[in-house]
Amino acid sequence: MATMVQSFFPYIHIILDALWVTIALSIAGFSLGFGIGALLLFLRTFSNRVVARAIDGFIDVIRGIPLLVMLFLIFYGFPALGFQIPNMLAAALGMGILSGAYQSQIFRSLLHSVSSSQYESSLAIGLSRWESFRYVIFPQVLRLSIPALINEYTILLKDTSVAYAIGVTEMFTQSVHVSQVIMSFTYPLLFVSAIYLTICFSLSSLANHLYRKLSYGYSIREHIGG
Amino acid sequence: MLGLDILIENWQILLKALGYSLLVSLFSFILGFALASLFTVVRLFSSFKVPKWAVRAYVETFRGTPMMVQLFFIYYASPAIGINLSPFQASVIAFALNSAAYQSEYLRAGLMSVPKTQYEAAESLGLSKWGAVFSVVLPVGLRASLSSLGNEFVALFKYSSIASFVTLPELFYVARYIAAGSFRYLEMYTVLAIIYVVIGFALSKTFRKVERFFYVPGLMD
Amino acid sequence: MGEVIKVDGVWKYYDGRAVVKGISLEVNRGDRFVIIGPSGSGKSTLLRMMNLLVRPDKGKIFFEGVELTSPKVNPVEYRKKIGIVFQHYNLFLHMTVMRNVMFGPVKVKGMKLDEARKVAEAALDSVHISRALWDKYPSQLSGGEQQRVAIARALAMEPEVMLFDEPTSALDPELTGEVLQVMKELAKKGMTMVVVTHELGFAASVASRIAFIDSGEVVEEGTPKEILFSPKKERTRAFLNRMWELYRIEPEW
């Protein structure tokens, strides 16, 4: 037992170095998702009923695709269309698109809590639709979304492990590689678990604290992307 | 054209693979529900601190680590302590342990949404504590968690794709095999995405029917 | 002797603060015992102690001579004989009106379904809930209707005594009448009742005895005439003045 732990020690830094890949990937995916989510919300808010319905349908379809399938579609499928994408970029794209669908839903569920008179009064003072969305509506929605967005980020952080499938050398991938070298999965996997847990637990405690502080009735319903 | 022939050529093995995906999801959902029920009882009704604390630690741990890690741990680390699991067993156990954490959160939230006065009213008619829990708190609380539990099942179905990493021949595993054999990656993965979306929709629709069956005006909306 | 409920020197503390301070009183068979007093005076707590929904920290509660507070007695056995009606009705949300009323007889008394249905029908008729509402859910009823169903639910258990915890104070003013009417009819049939209320009109016309409670103590107890029209204590007088004032402000149109 002790020798197994010892054999793992020299490789710890490999896993720790990959933590930055994990964090970079999750932040890239989250940021892309944020942009897509906000854009979808804007389009949905200011389009007629038919277009809004179409956007909702599109979001539902995207949400139905497992992350793993999305990553393979982008990484192995797109080259057939003539463009090859590096695996890290493919992972960020796939996670970003899925997260965009989820983030737009987070925003949408909170849109109704911003009163419509806010929109009317911003139009009345002469702002354009885009300006009233950008400066009046969205900031209010965003403020209420913060806890849910933090939870969404923790989901992305955990989901970076799926990028193992297309060979991104993030933390989980490296822990599997180390496991194969030392021929034991126990300690490397326990070690990465502890890192994921520390980050996710701190963030979700923060989110819960903010939920209570903002204390509005938004249900803490997490999604998992697979 | 465009993947349709892939579907026609391979529909039998894809169907079998879909069966695996659904079976893994269903088994782990049910097992997860059983565990989650136990956890919820401990969290809400136990008068001892240690089990309560243990359940909380469990839930936080499984929600705070990736399902990939959990699955790899169950499948690849268990032989070290002398347990050898088949891919199917390992997947069901890993997903069930994970789902139990989420489901216990949904159950707890549902049960906690039941006003205390409902319990009081049952007690005032002469029902015992457990009588009140079973005939009043559970029917109302379970209805409140129904839609989250439905979403959880669909999420499990999508996540079952990672069971391919422990060589379970479910949808993703088989699709990958077909794609590699025919070099038609784009078509195969598009078809695969469509299969997941369509089955996911069908599952959600089924759950909505279940919800409608248990619908009570003034509850759940 | 006709004593149904006896409260003997009960105390109740919340967070170290006494909300009921050594109250004693007796409710006899056929009494319409009305408890009045300002909000937060401990009257609801006192009422809930009578069927041990709230357990007193000190003192004893007797029901028909049995000490409910004794550790040897299981209060659950006696609750079926003591009906209670809550301020917020507390109907079972997942059951229809009919199921709500049948619930007690079936689950607690083990009555057969068709038998329980007959009992429930009689109870619902007695509170004037029309047949059209029997298969509705609580959320589809008005507050007044819900409260009358709640009364029927308690009556279906054929209780020896009915406790009412501010039964009309959650209702819109135009709905209080129908509930008070049902309670008056109950009183006429000879039901033993303990009523916590702010409705002084109801107290004046229905009560056989009135207790005025303030900051956890019985300040004064007597007939409606004594308490409402010639109170001896200054605190009672001040409270009543405030209440009559509220009544007078009520516009007449």
Q: Determine how many CB atoms are found less than 10 A away from the CB of residue B10.
A: 19
CB count within 10 Å of CB A226 equals 24
Residue A118, both tokens: 């806010």
- pLDDT interval class at A218 (50, 70, 90): very low
Residue C59 backbone phi and psi in degrees, to 5: 95, 175
CA distance C224 to C240: 12
Interface size B-C, in CB pairs within 8 Å, comes to: 71
The predicted model gives A151-166 an average pLDDT of 97
Q: Which of A92-106, A115-129, B109-123, C222-236 has the lowest mean pLDDT?
A: A115-129
- Which residue in chain C is spatially nearest to B218 when comparing CA positions? C139
Residue C82 phi/psi, 5-degree rounding, is -120, 105
pLDDT score of A48 more than 90: no
A206 membership: H or E segment, kind and range: helix A186-214
Contacts of B35 (CB under 8 A, 6+ apart): B96, B97, B100, B103, B104
List the single range of A48-52, A128-132, A183-187, C193-197 with lowest mean pLDDT.
Answer: A128-132
Amino acid at the residue A160: T
Band of pLDDT at residue A1, cut at 50, 70 and 90: low
CB contact under 8 A, A193 and B176: no
Q: Which long-range contacts (CB under 8 A, 24 or more apart) does B45-51 make?
A: B45/B133
Poorest-pLDDT segment among A48-62, A103-117, B46-60, B168-182: A103-117
A187: confidence class by pLDDT, cuts 50, 70, 90: very high
Taking CA–CA distances from A81, the nearest residue in chain B reads B186
Nearest C-alpha neighbor of A19 from the set A140, A191, A155, A221: A191
Confidence of residue C22 (pLDDT cuts 50, 70, 90): very high
Q: Is the pLDDT of residue A221 over 80?
A: no
Q: Do C93 and B140 touch (CB under 8 A)?
A: yes
DSSP A167: T
Distance CA B169, CA B152 (A): 22
The answer to whether C9 and C60 are in contact (CB under 8 A) is yes
CB within 8 Å of B24: residues ≥ 6 apart: B88, B91, B92, B95, B160, B163, B168, B170
Among A8, A59, A60, A68, the residue to mutate for chain B (most B Cβ within 10 A)? A68
Q: What is the pTM assigned to this prediction?
A: 0.86
**Contact present, C and A (at least 3 Cβ pairs less than 8 Å):** no
CATH of the domain at B141: 1.10.3720.10
Q: Do the chains contact at B151 and A223, CB–CB below 8 Å?
A: yes
How many distinct structural domains can be found in chain B? 1
Confidence of residue C190 (pLDDT cuts 50, 70, 90): very high
Burial class (CB in 10 A: 0-12, 13-18, 19+), C1: exposed
Q: Give me the phi and psi of B76, to 5 degrees please.
A: -95, -25
The tokens for C62 are: 């007797």
Task: Check if C51 contacts B (Cβ < 8 Å).
Answer: yes
Please write the tens of the pLDDT for every residue from A5-29: 788 888 999 999 999 999 999 999 9
Nearest to B166 by CA among B85, B79, B81, B48: B85
Print the SS3 string covering chain B: CCCHHHHHHHHHHHHHHHHHHHHHHHHHHHHHHHHHHHHHHHHHHCCCHHHHHHHHHHHHHHHHCCHHHHHHHHHHHHHHHCCCCCHHHHHHHHHHHHHHHHHHHHHHHHHHCCCHHHHHHHHHCCCCHHHHHHHHHHHHHHHHHHHHHHHHHHHHHHHHHHHHHHCCCCHHHHHHHHHHHHCCHHHHHHHHHHHHHHHHHHHHHHHHHHHHHCCCCCCCC
Both ends of chain C: CA-CA distance in Å?
Answer: 48
Query: Is C53 near chain B, with CB under 8 Å?
Result: yes
Which chain C residues are Cβ-neighbours of B121 within 8 angstroms?
86, 90-92
Rounded Cα–Cα distance for residues C142 and C150 (Å): 12
pLDDT-wise least confident of A167-171, C145-149, C235-239: C235-239
Q: Which amino acid is it at C69?
A: T
CA distance B220 to C240: 44
Order of strands across the sheet that contains C161-165? C82-85, C161-165, C192-196, C32-36, C209-214, C217-222
Contacts of C107 in chain B (CB under 8 A): 125, 127, 131, 135
Position A226 pLDDT exceeds 50: no
What H or E segment, with its residue span, contains residue A27? helix A12-45
* Mean pLDDT for all residues in chain A: 89
Pairwise pLDDT comparison (B6 vs A72), residue with the higher score: A72
**Between helices A138-159 and A186-214, what is the axis angle to 10°?**
170
Please give the pLDDT value at position A223: 32
Q: Using CA atoms, how far apart are residues A162 and A157, in angstroms rounded to an integer?
A: 10
**Higher pLDDT residue, B56 or A1?**
B56
**What confidence score (pLDDT) does residue B22 get?**
98
First to last CA, chain A: 34
Question: What average pLDDT is seen over chain C?
Answer: 92
Q: What are the pLDDT digits (tens) for C29-52?
A: 999 999 999 988 899 999 999 999
Match domain A2-225 to its CATH number in 3.40.50.720, 3.20.20.450, 1.10.3720.10, 3.30.300.30: 1.10.3720.10
Across the interface, of A70, A172, A201, the residue whose CB is closest to B69 is A172
For tokens 């789902």, what's the residue? B99
Tell me if B65 sits within 8 A of A158, measured CB to CB.
yes
pLDDT score for C244: 79
CB contact under 8 A, C107 and B127: yes
Report residue A83 as tokens. Answer: 């463009």
Tally of CA atoms within 13 A in the half-sphere of A143 that contains its CB: 11
B200 contact residues in A (CB cutoff 8 A): 64
Find the Cα–Cα–Cα–Cα dihedral C161, C164, C165, C170, rounded to 10°: 160
Q: What pLDDT does A211 receive? A: 84
Q: What is the mean pLDDT of residues A81-107?
A: 94
C 127-156 → B contacts, CB under 8 A? 136-140, 153-154
How far apart, in whole angstroms, are the C-alpha atoms of residue C45 and residue C55?
9
Residues (pLDDT < 70) of chain B are 1-3, 220-221
Across the interface, do C108 and B219 touch by the CB < 8 Å criterion?
A: no
The strand order across the sheet containing C58-63 reads C17-28, C3-14, C58-63, C66-67
Cα(C163)–Cα(C33) distance, integer angstroms: 9
Domain ranges of chain C: 91-158
Chains C and B touch (3+ CB pairs under 8 A): yes
Give how far the C-alpha of residue A83 lies from the chain's centroid of Cα atoms, to the nearest Å. Answer: 25
Query: A137: number of CA atoms within 13 Å, CB side?
Result: 28
* Tens-digit pLDDT profile for residues C47-100: 999 999 999 999 999 999 999 999 999 988 899 999 999 999 999 999 999 999
Q: For residue B82, what are the domain limits?
A: 4-214
DSSP conformation letters of chain C: --EEEEEEEEEEEETTEEEEEEEEEEEETT-EEEEE--TTSSHHHHHHHHTTSS--SEEEEEETTEETTSTTS-THHHHTTEEEE-TT----TTS-HHHHHHHHHHHTT---HHHHHHHHHHHHHHTT--GGGTTS-GGGS-HHHHHHHHHHHHHTT--SEEEEESTTTTS-HHHHHHHHHHHHHHHHTT-EEEEE-S-HHHHHHH-SEEEEEETTEEEEEE-HIIIIIS--SHHHHHHHHHHHHHHHHS---
Under 8 Å CB-to-CB from A200, ≥6 apart: which residues? A154, A157, A158, B63, B64, B65
User: Do A172 and B68 make contact, defined as CB atoms within 8 angstroms?
Assistant: yes
Task: Tell me the C-alpha distance between C207 and B47, whole Å.
Answer: 44
Q: Which of C51, C91, C94 sits opposite B143 (nearest CB)?
A: C94
> Are A158 and B65 in contact (CB < 8 Å)?
yes
Cα B196 to Cα B206: distance, rounded to the nearest angstrom: 15
